[in-house]
Copies of this chain bind each other. A is one copy, B any other.
Amino acid sequence: MTSTPFVLPDAALQRFRETLPPDAVHVDQADRDELRDPYWPAGDRTYDSSAVLYPSTVEQLQEVVRVADELGVPVWTSSQGRNNGYGGPSPRVAGSVLISLRRMNRILEINHELAYAVVEPGVRWMDLADALEAEGGDLLLSVPDVGWGSIVGNSMDNGVSYLPNGADFMAPTGMEVVLADGSLLRTGLGAIPGNKSWHLYKRGLGPSLDALFTQSNYGIVVRMGVWLMRKPEAMASLHLSVPRNDQLGQAVDIIRELRMSGAIRGVPGLFSFPILAWQFPELGEYMGGKGALPEEEIQRLADESGLGRWGVRLGVWGDAPVVEHHVNRIKERWAEIEDSAVTHDARFTREQWGPFTTFGDKINGAAPMLDMLDGLPPGIGHLAFSPVVPLVGEQVQRLEGLLSEYVREHLDGNLSAAITVVNDRSLIIVVELDLVMGDEAQVRAAYDSLRQMVEHFGKLGFAEYRAHLDIMDIASEQLSFNDHAYRRFVEKIKDAVDPRGILSPGRHGVWPAAYRGGKAPGGR
């Protein structure tokens, strides 16, 4: 990871200054450090930007991109840049100009009849949820754990959220995109001026492009439709326990069958005990980051807490009798797990939607918040290793064993894992590796472990759904079928739509021609 950074020419900086208002161009290191991966060692400049730009409008952004294209300046875009477990807003190529879209934060439309909103990339979960509440609270936004992130940004990384529209990336629909030459593209039926189905229909006429702009660098999404849920008659917010590690597989199989029967929609979360502590303040002292406890000790703490070795958060939304029936089915099936318990069962109605006091109720109630930031162990950062796994108990159980062993041996920790069941057939297991902030040797060792894990578990068939900045190349290297046919294909597209290779070079392993074969700073 020692490569020469791109050096921003003075002439380019001058052009950016001419393009944007004075307060939208920052080059001081302190200012740049406000938008960098907070976990990466402070003295290490591998992923630093050379400048941070804050356009406020699509037109300003277009002009910035035109300048970058003209002068061959690599830019890296972040919306809010809040997902620090994957590298935050830092660019892949050192010296890139970071374009933060935080100031492009308008909610362009809220449509109550058809239950969708249209947002710019700077709009946070909290912003849209507040706006929906202000307009009567008839519509619910599917939300993730922490409310400060960008709705668009999360979608651009195939990120997860937990209400029914969060399953299978259903919410994002219809985009406006700034291309590498600064021009605008609209996807789907948005390509037809004035068409009313832009944000309503998942395809268009001809090839569909929405998913081409996620985890990629073919354009900058500046407007996106996001589907909302009509507030249902009733909601149940549940927490269920899985008392022991070796029951995880059984729980996964039960969840699959409950999903397939329609009892569970949404995106349930299964949290290993250390992660439960991030959500239940009363467990605060067991939240990890202090070296591995013996498994017996973790088990004892889990038993004492009554929350389980794993805790499961899920919501049920619908007509009142349907919620009642489905909750009963869920409880019946859950009772098959020996010694398991329903540790939380709160009911809400359309008329009495809240108040929400627990973390899980807030998630299921579509009330985004920052509570988890308080729940994180102080002085501890996290790196995420996040493979996709078939929704089959035996496979999840086996992987849990391998991961626990790996984390204990190589990282002196207990497995901190959050499983999200993204559809009826697969799940993502997000393994959080502790970073002891300020202890550079430990931090570097954790990054080394992350790299090793990607390769080690990759060989076992478990691939990342999303790669941390530092391991994008290693992760994408695994897409090797037919001599990397996938990479060659997406590179051809990259070269065709961004011939100078200025947009986020290296994002998720997609490098433009100018950077391939080590021909440019930081390239592959």
Contacts and interface: CB of A to CB of B under 8 A. Distances in A.
Interface in A192-237: 192-197, 200-216, 218, 227, 229-230, 232-233
Contact of A318 (B195, B201, B262, B321): B262
Contact of A391 (B187, B200, B479): B200
A497 B492 contact: yes
A260 interface: yes
Contacts of A183: 482, 485
Interface residues of A, number: 97
Interface in A436-451: none
A395 interface: yes
Contact of A197 (B185, B208, B321, B463): B463
Contact of A215 (B184, B203, B256): B203
Interface string A304-339: 000000000000011101100110010000000000
B201 A169 contact: no
Contacts of A232: 261-262
A196 B395 contact: yes
Contacts of A187: 486
A424 interface: yes
Interface stretch (A18-26, A46-54, A95-103, A464-472): A464-472
A472 to B, nearest CB: 9
A507 B201 CA distance: 21
A178 to B, nearest CB: 11
Contact of A493 (B390, B425, B496, B508): B496
A425 B116 contact: yes
A191 interface: yes
A205 B464 contact: yes
A385 to B, nearest CB: 13
Nearest to A213: B207
As for how many copies of this chain the complex holds, the number is 2
A183 B492 CA distance: 14
A56 interface: no
A463 to B, nearest CB: 5
User: Residue among A195, A205, A260, A508 with the most chain B CB within 10 A?
Assistant: A205
A388 interface: yes
B481 A190 contact: yes
A315 to B, nearest CB: 13
Contacts of A35: none
A170 interface: yes
Contact of A214 (B208, B210, B322, B392): B208
A70 B22 CA distance: 56
Contacts of A184: 481-482, 485
Contacts of A391: 114, 200
A476 interface: yes
Nearest to A260: B230
A113 interface: yes
A375 to B, nearest CB: 29
A186 interface: yes
Contact of A186 (B208, B257, B426, B485): B485
Contacts of A185: 481-482, 485-486, 489
A278 to B, nearest CB: 26
A115 interface: yes
17 contacts: A114-B392, A114-B425, A169-B202, A186-B481, A186-B485, A186-B486, A189-B388, A191-B486, A192-B481, A193-B481, A205-B478, A207-B490, A209-B211, A209-B486, A212-B212, A229-B260, A493-B493
Given A197-B463, A230-B260, 19 more contacts: A114-B424, A115-B260, A168-B170, A186-B485, A195-B463, A201-B388, A201-B465, A205-B476, A206-B216, A207-B211, A207-B213, A207-B218, A208-B215, A212-B212, A229-B260, A232-B261, A262-B318, A325-B325, A493-B496
Q: Please list the 4 inter-chain residue pairs (A to B) with the smallest Cβ-Cβ separation, ordered nearest first.
A: A191-B479, A496-B496, A207-B216, A208-B211
